[in-house]
Amino acid sequence: MRQKNALMPTLRTVSEAEMISHQLMLRAGYIRQLAAGIYTYLPLGYRVLNKVSNIVREEMDRIGAQELLLPALHPSELWQETGRWDAYGPELFKVKDRHDREFAAGPTHEEVITNLLRGEINSYKKLPMSLYQIQTKFRDEKRPRSGLLRGREFLMKDAYSFHADRESLDKTYEDMYQAYQNIFTRLGLDFRAVEADAGAIGGKGTHEFMVLSEAGEDTIAMCASCDYAANIEMATVVSETQAEERVAGSAIEKVATPGKRSIEEVASFLQVGPERLVKSLLFVVDGEPVLVLVRGDHEVNDVKVKNLLEGAVCELADEETVRRVAGVPSGFVGPVGLKEQVKVLADQAVMQLGSLIVGANEVDAHLMHVQVDRDFTVDLVGDLRNIQEGDVCPRCGGAIHFKRGIEVGHVFKLGTRYSEAMNARFLDANGKEQPFIMGCYGIGISRVVASVIEQHHDENGIVWPVAVAPFTVHLIAVNMKNEEQSKVAESLYAELKQAGIEVLFDDRLERAGVKFKDADLLGIPVRITVGAKAGEGLAEIKLRRSGESKEVAVADLLNELP
Ligand code: ATP
Ligand code: MG
Ligand code: MG
Ligand code: MG
């Protein structure tokens, strides 16, 4: 591409941008803002965006995901089916058509893809199936001030997988996880996969991919000695489904060996971070550590205990789950008093499961009272709290430190949250109707572009990794008015293109200083300068990252390229 007539407006300074990636993308002429959080990708910016998209595309295709394109406008009825028309909150852009029918400008596509599959796939024989798209998303973010890091209109790759059973979901989740590792490695990012909170989207099992950067809005708790890493956000939420999982799975089946344990030990035993147990409490019952899952405040009085207990019981147990997990008769919550509830729950749970799942700070006292006929001891091991810097790693005992991170990717096991709500079912091998088991997997393509810059820049501008650079080579003719120079540069330009190398040719009639400053700002990995020595058949190759340079014979230039 020739620079002379290109839309690449560079600026020496910008005033409005806080983030370095935002500043540099404005200054280097990659983007322009139309409104808060809404950007135009100029030709250079668009090339980078496409580079990232293509890497993501290759890795998605490699694991057998199929690319499609879903609509950006979603009828409100679909979002009402899952309750998210209201629950999604003010981030949802809503628009009306001429008949006053309401639509959402899609912030994510679980509803739309589930709607598609429920109409098209009705047999287990077609499963598993993974689909993805690369599409513009709309979210009316509260603080869209960081350039591409947080847009109100932004580009996302979102994938969705559909399964007949949990094992199949686990397998695809692993494939996606690995694909994400490949993608972010290829993009030249220093990143970590961290345990995450499922948040409003719901579901069990989720990791975020975090680019380590001070510009990040997330805080990650990381261990200095092992690969433990978690978003501290999850420290404040125990979602319904997570709680259920822990009770149905790890908490009950795994807590088996008697003995008093520290929070860290139990958390490590359960393979969750202690921060995941926050606002829950830990007891030892009959010598066994017991996980108590309570949502909310744990400075409790009797009324609060009651609320918490009811909350906890309800959270842990819709009727079916109670019966399945604890064998507790349905309807036991409500009419009976607090102590009765504790007793019933304690009896049932301990008898059935060898564990107890109720609680709050002062429940120990109540339990002492209600258990006369049984020989119970309940010791409060400790309040769970948010993980802090300097804490002991729940996995290995190493030291926890905090780092800032930019969330560039997120993988979720959704389970049947959407298929149940939307009645999306298939026939299993026995001819029985089952809801699809689902996963979803997002990457913020445009956010990735900004994240790469956050990690790859110096005081003079952007320093692109080759994989995402808008061009590989920046060819600069120092003085286009000089016939010799322009001739050599023109023929090199043709030769490089011929060799399939992506080259930007600075054929402008600007001063050398301007050209070099712009070149540094733009950040293209290899610079070839044709200057005063063109007549002797010599040019200079310079690497943007290291600043290393050497003189080479023009005739030999292609072989000399790194
Ligand atoms: P955040 O916590 O930063 O608001 P999120 O958890 O709401 O992100 P997801 O719903 O998990 O985002 O969406 C998948 C991916 O889309 C994110 O991992 C992120 O990379 C990207 N993304 C989300 N919101 C934005 C945004 N406003 N601008 C750019 N990229 C975004
Ligand atoms: Mg968000
Ligand atoms: Mg997030
Ligand atoms: Mg997320």
pLDDT at 260: 33
| Peptide bond just before 128 cis, omega within 30 deg | yes
CA angle 283, 254, 393 (to 5 degrees): 70
pLDDT at 394: 62
pLDDT score of 276 more than 80: no
197: confidence class by pLDDT, cuts 50, 70, 90: low
What whole-number percentage of the chain has pLDDT above 90? 64
Question: Which DSSP string corresponds to 156-223?
Answer: EEEEEEEESSHHHHHHHHHHHHHHHHHHHHHTT--EEEEE---GGG--S-EEEEEEE-TT-SEEEEEE
Ligand 1 touching residue 151 (CB < 6 A): yes
> Which ligand has the shortest distance to the CA of 451?
1
Segment 81-101 mean pLDDT: 95
- Phi, psi angle pair for 520, to nearest 5°: -60, -40
Helix (H, G, I), strand (E, B) or coil at 466: helix
pLDDT at 562: 87
Ligand 1 touching residue 409 (CB < 6 A): yes
**93, 153, 156, 157, best to mutate for ligand 1 pocket (most atoms within 8 Å of CB):** 156
pLDDT at 139: 98
With contact defined as beta carbons under 8 Å apart, do 239 and 276 qualify? Answer: no
**Can you give the length of the chain in residues?**
562
Separation of CA 139 and ligand 1 centre (Å):
9
Q: How many helices (H) and strands (E) does the chain have?
A: 17, 26
Q: Which atom of ligand 1 is nearest to the CA of 107?
A: 10
> Which pairing describes strands 66-67 and 129-138: parallel, antiparallel, or unpaired?
parallel
pLDDT at 389: 83
What are the residues whose beta carbons fall under 8 Å from the beta carbon of 427, sequence distance 6 or more? 122, 123, 124, 433, 434
Measured by CA distance, the residue closest to atom 31 of ligand 1 is: 444
pLDDT at 484: 96
Find the range with the poorest average confidence among 22-26, 119-123, 278-282. 278-282
- Phi, psi angle pair for 132, to nearest 5°: -145, 160
CA angle 516, 521, 524 (to 5 degrees): 85
Alpha helix ranges (H) inside 63-139: 76-81, 84-87, 110-120
Kindly provide the ipTM of the predicted complex, given to two decimals.
Answer: 0.99
pLDDT score of 175 more than 80: yes
65: confidence class by pLDDT, cuts 50, 70, 90: very high
Taking the model in full, what pTM does it have?
0.78
Ligand 1 touching residue 444 (CB < 6 A): yes
Separation of CA 391 and ligand 2 centre (Å):
28
pLDDT at 205: 79
What would the two tokens of residue 229 be?
């890493």
Ligand 1 touching residue 407 (CB < 6 A): yes
Q: Which atom of ligand 1 is nearest to the CA of 199?
A: 6
Ligand 1 touching residue 439 (CB < 6 A): no
pLDDT at 400: 84
What would the two tokens of residue 370 be?
């209600």
pLDDT at 545: 98
Q: What is the pLDDT of residues 160-172, one digit of tens each?
A: 999 999 999 999 9
Q: Which atom of ligand 1 is nearest to the CA of 156?
A: 16
293: confidence class by pLDDT, cuts 50, 70, 90: very low
Separation of CA 442 and ligand 4 centre (Å):
8
